[in-house]
Structure 1
């Protein structure tokens, strides 16, 4: 009985202890929650509430005194030339604002089904959809795969906000959306949305789109037509049906499925609608002046608006996923600002010169006049394009996009073509000079090699200087030079000059050295690149936009914020220019005969792609740079046509006219350039005083880069290793030593620290295992050391025997040499000769025996 009481007391005490512990944990938890709550309130009061109030103020200012329907009253956007004269108008008579009753219910339903199914019930923001979008954003590591914006938020984006993707902008967007819902009815918001969307092919607003694609008013759109338009406006450049009919059809059917799911159409209506093909009219409306000058001006103005609003332009991508994510962002913002300019109310002041434009247009048309074959679309088959830049200002002054003035497709900035050898100065030669790894007198072996290119004429010249190789346009030399400096180093220069269209696949493709790009390059980018050489290596980001004025906000963009970039050193640009003069001035230059009149100094380069599918001439003087392309829209081989054939002559004829009244002007030799003999070739040529030092520095950088790449590879192997047998221990030790020694040579302290930490972290794991196997490891080491000693002993014996044998052999040869000398004596008696011959015969009898070497 007493024992039971004592047991009960102990149990009671244990229960009291558990109860006390529980109360302590509960109090700790409640205290922590209270502390976090108080901390959150303080944080909100101190940090968040002021920011929310600030954002609320921004939202109020945006809406104060505004009337969204003022968009119907915007004046046309007008483009002016370099003299302030009107070049044209954008969307004149094209944009029509439709009332909601003039917009087909099919389109309204399509938008609701596809983009905002809670449109009729939410108050501007669909928080569930927003949370889903945030969840998907996190799940997909920052890649946008699902939108969270309502139609009301889209209206805000289309009318009030820039397209920058910031947290602040999103908060303002949400606040504005809620306020809009108070100011306007759902019908008003849908009406504004349909009228402020961009549908591709210059169609701003639903009425313009309906008339262009279907030749009917927006109120008469059928279900399938409405679905197609709803699909387009989300990403016009991707889904517009003229250039992308398959994608447009697929997107249309997705929208139709959404309409069937929501209940706007029946299953039977859905099946009927998806069975219908796209039927596009392309009914171009009159009133829009979008010739080559105006279309380029609008494009350049759109880009300038994006720059002013801090769009992060990118020209190099490591992965295709990065490229696609960027492209989505680019298209969204480009469409926004292009749509804004097309909506009217802007004045675009440009550097475009109609006189120079006419000279280039007439010269190009005349130069290609013998080619009259017509494509199925009615356009001339043989085409050409050109861009001229004023080197004194850096502005584009002329842009011709094709033959004649009726063709609206501006190949000068829209078309990507293979540049052939015209890219060599910008990608291969100038970077090689700039990095100090080559100079004009550097000798390279021009020869046919495995997996390499051929020279266009099939000839190989052996040891040639870089100057001669550039003038002869030798493919094998350009290939070797880019391989020598590194593909990415060359592409870095194109990136600095804002070359667009470079593919991820080009990052490690040596074919780019001779113009073999995945997508090709644009005429305008080539002109800008050559203008960079003409201007001492300085790249100007100017296009043709001098100023953009808004009727509402005044000047929204000008040249004050445009910055120049020193891409190439001044001495590099001078030496490259001096080399390129030889294209026209040397007897073996690929552009011989294209020298300008009046002894005007000029430099340039021909370009011809494989099969002569694309032909180029790019060149410059101190006054102007011009790039000319000739080829077909759908690339076809043009036997017998090269860069100098038509493109070169168009370039020469245009430049001759432009320079008629200008004094010849040459480039001055920079202070950093001297003439001296190359250390290896002994040939005297221009060279930069600092080239040798830069070359050594770049070789060290390149070596370290290669070492880093090997370390990254080795550390992954090391971290993946598992020790399962004794041999693995020593394999790991060997790799550890290799990585450790390589890291000691790295100068990048951040890199070194990171990889040393990874290396020693993994080594600790191995040391634990090694400690358990210590006896076996010691025995293994002893065994290996003994084997090594035995091998060393055997090797020593063999070496000793070989040495003794060599000594005996030397003695034998010495003896024979002496006997041969005696034989050659002119005076000797018969006894002496008999003794000599007898000695030789006896020695030969011993050949191969042991006594032979004794």
Structure 2
């Protein structure tokens, strides 16, 4: 636009020059056209992208900052700030000292400009700019804040009048509070208050307000961490001026003299390190307001710090806290160490280990195929020649369903899954969304041991469903987020039966008296994920210790030994409210099983001992890959299509390519449900 106007202005000048004498009207026309061109070029200079590319900020329920990103253009802390988010005292001091007639002029205080011009001329140099808040804003928008020339001052006058007339002085004030420079990569009063004082700008002492009033004048020269004497001088000057202008009285002036200067940057919300950019991708907003409780969040940060002090092997801690009374996510720890992972892990699908077992039991209860006192079988070779083992590699023989679930026994869980079918189990979990990620795989018995993936947030919601007697609720993180309608996942008595059984799960040694906690643990097959999920009163907490890159360290984390103590520690620190569950009259909650469900004896229905067998390798073998790095699995028997499962991947090809030396478990299954599994050691020939 300005280029075209300059062209028109040039034509007028050339046309006027062709005449020896110009009329007064022609002179005025030329001057008007020139002014229009200059004004248009000034307006065209304004770049509002500095506002659009500001930081993204996550806020807790009390308005504190719990997550942020740097600005997209200059990697600055630039948080949008409105007038009602800052201290009234600061606003009074700012207006009194930086733009006394802010509410009376239209962007430019011409008397102040004339006084500044007179002073500059008498001193022979630029000592005062006479800038208003609007003129300081346009310096940031136009990018010439470092060039103190009279031409730039003229540009700022035009631009300040324009933005005040177009957007209004209240918007101009917001832009100043957002864009003013405070040293380094800190912009805006909110970021400055958080970095210098460690708190939001809605409360400030007079000295704090004076420092933030003065800093934009010379951000690098007044920084109290680098130039404490200069900072003290300017603070006193602003306080003295504010007293003289009636912002406060002598009592405030005297009390402020004892205030100490901040000696170093406090940092912007240390909690922000635990919430990564992943949370921002669910919304296009720059300011995101959440239900996160800062007190709960602080508990999670303390746990993260404690975990990081003990472990520095590439494993990270992540946590989700749900409140069943409000259906809100009130705490979330994305990653305890952003140097290892900047992904918000609670939203990443991962193996739950055996943490899905309670839901298979609950669905079997609901289908009338199982009772908590039904006898199951924990013994070797129960399912043909497939030899899945328990975590402790021991077998318990005949056990009740209640004990099998509380002890997290693998073979009885497979037996229970056989009662309802792995396909039915997966479809039941996914009735209300793609909660359990099986991909293109055909669900098999390994699903109950962790071959399918689920996010920690969704796993927490499933456990909260048990806490709410079978009602599956959505949980909101963001204020105003639209939730799915509650849905019944399983019958109330089935959910209550599972919930009560999980109260008898073994307690960690550090929490022997937490008898009311209903919880379960899970450990992935290669020790890349250790989980513990449980409920106490209105809170459901899910804890995961994970190796984000799936490369484990020397120490092998387990759900019970490592994740459960963190779970109990967190639950013990949360303020809880009773759930007030009603009494339920059901045979599932009695101590005696119906005659028909005394014992599951018909295991031939899901087992054929001669159906499918892995001939090579055998359990305990040491195997070398072939020239192409592959290990082939030879088998006999089976009906129809046969699938091979390895580390969560399912294929019809009877080979896999190991990435590293170590022990591997491989399973195969045919279309009739026959299966077999072996564990062997792989040695790579380097």
TM range (shorter): 0.3 to 0.5
Instruction: Give the TM-score, by structure 1 length.
Output: 0.38
Say which structure is richer in strand. 2
Larger Rg computed on CA atoms: 1
